[in-house]
Amino acid sequence: MFKARHSITLLFNANKVYDRQVIEGIGHYLQSSKADWDVYLEEDFLCRLEHIHEWSGDGIIADFDDMNIQLALKGSDKPVVGVGGSYSNPNHYPAVPYVATDNYALVKLAYEHLKQKGLERFAFYSVPIDENHRWAREREAAISELTAKDGYECQIYQGHCTRPETWQYAMNRLTDWIQSLPKPIGILAVTDSRARHLLQACDHIGLIVPDNVAIIGIDDDDIARFLSRISLSSVTQGCFEMGYQAAKLLHKQLSNIQVGRKQILVPPAGVASRQSTDFKALKDPYVIQAMHYIRQHATRGIKVEQVTDFVGISRSNLEQRFRSERGHSIHTELHNQKLGRACKMLSDTQVSPTEIANICGYPSLQYMYAVFKRHFDQTPTEYRSSHSEGIKPSAQVVNF
């Protein structure tokens, strides 16, 4: 009967996107190396710490951002590799080989993204103080340092826990805070989950994203992205690389190679830029209203007349204002919004072109095919195929 050389347990909460991506990196290392491991992960994806010291396996990779896990593994007689956040104080690192996401670099990338959009006011939405949220304190310190260096102030709001019984109270306080901020402003959320709170709060009180409030999160979580009408910009952590490096460290230990208390700092993978930070310093309140309506409804097949009806001024007046601020017509903006959404869905999902045409507001699949042939000299299917091969045709703004 087959018997793996080593039995490994993973102590993560795989219901979280961060942990899932770390686990995926561990899996990639197993596929690409000679590691002969039998990997144990709880069936419901929630790690169990009861009797962990009685576990008869050979090694452990664990989420050290969770203090309960860290304490449970203290003094373990088996090789342990920790995965978690970075610390500005070297003394805060655990006494085991450790792979860390670079919290300072994550925040710096998000902050620079907002600055590049022309924003000069900044705020940070964090989480309440908690032993398991030490990574959040590091991110707060990073944004305070970065903004201070540039001569900006940054308002930090830790908010409240969002359990079912406290949800409404927490959201009311969040809206109070957002309303108190100067506008326009860029808000960096400590996670995508918290960023989604911001999107919801802005929607409830009629603040236009991104024209009044530009929002960026951290994690690039599909759940946060698809549950909001405004697509969320986010910093992608190097979680896959973290998992890969953690598995590599454990493999070395199991091969009797000493690694000591080696620390590996993994930088972010980049910024996924989407609607929530598509900020342009618009000054005309009518154009701001028009852009908000277009972002919300362009893929429903709306026409220019519906935009002007929403804003409440004549078409000629709004067209003149729109061209002055945006450099093209309202019709072109509607077209570009639909085309951008279609391109994104073709490159990021496996949804059929027929469904995409419907979702993006095209009257028929044939019409969408004609649009793609005109812009890219490709069919939507060819666009999807070329994108997956690393060939990315660039969409051009076309004026009508």
pLDDT in tens, 375-393: 999 999 999 988 764 434 4
Instruction: Look at residues 77, 89, 44, 47 and name the one whose alpha carbon lies nearest to residue 64.
Output: 47
Residue 185, strand partner residues: 213
Instruction: Look at residues 112, 300, 108, 280 and name the one whose alpha carbon lies nearest to residue 210.
Output: 280
Of 240 and 54, the one with more pLDDT: 240
Asked whether residue 115 falls in the same domain as residue 208, the answer is yes
pLDDT digits (tens, 9 = 90+) for 193-208: 999 999 999 999 989 8
- Mean pLDDT (whole number) for 127-141: 94
Residue 294 lies in a domain: yes
Asked whether residue 116 falls in the same domain as residue 193, the answer is yes
pLDDT digits (tens, 9 = 90+) for 64-79: 998 888 888 888 889 9
Cα separation, 316 vs 352, in Å, equals 38
pLDDT of 57 strictly over 90 = no
Q: What is the CATH number of the domain that holds 41?
A: 3.40.50.2300
Residue 375 lies in a domain: yes
Class of residue 119 by CB neighbours under 10 A (exposed 0-12, middle 13-18, buried 19+): buried
Structure tokens at 29: 């290392």
Residue 293 lies in a domain: yes
pLDDT band for position 1 (cuts 50, 70, 90): very low
Asked whether residue 232 falls in the same domain as residue 244, the answer is no
Query: Strand 233-236's sheet: what is its strand order?
Result: 154-157, 122-125, 185-189, 213-218, 233-236, 270-272
- Mean pLDDT (whole number) for 350-366: 93
Give the count of beta carbons closer than 10 Å to the beta carbon of residue 300: 11
pLDDT digits (tens, 9 = 90+) for 222-281: 776 667 778 899 999 999 999 999 999 999 999 999 999 999 999 999 999 998 998 776
Asked whether residue 337 falls in the same domain as residue 351, the answer is yes
Residue 395 lies in a domain: no
Q: Which domain holds residue 185?
A: 103-236+272-277
pLDDT of 292 strictly over 50 = yes
pLDDT digits (tens, 9 = 90+) for 305-338: 999 999 999 999 999 999 988 889 999 999 999 9
Residue 55 lies in a domain: yes
Asked whether residue 95 falls in the same domain as residue 243, the answer is yes
Contact residues for 246 (Cβ-Cβ < 8 A; gap 6+): 22, 25, 26, 61, 81, 83, 99
Asked whether residue 129 falls in the same domain as residue 249, the answer is no
Residue 400 lies in a domain: no
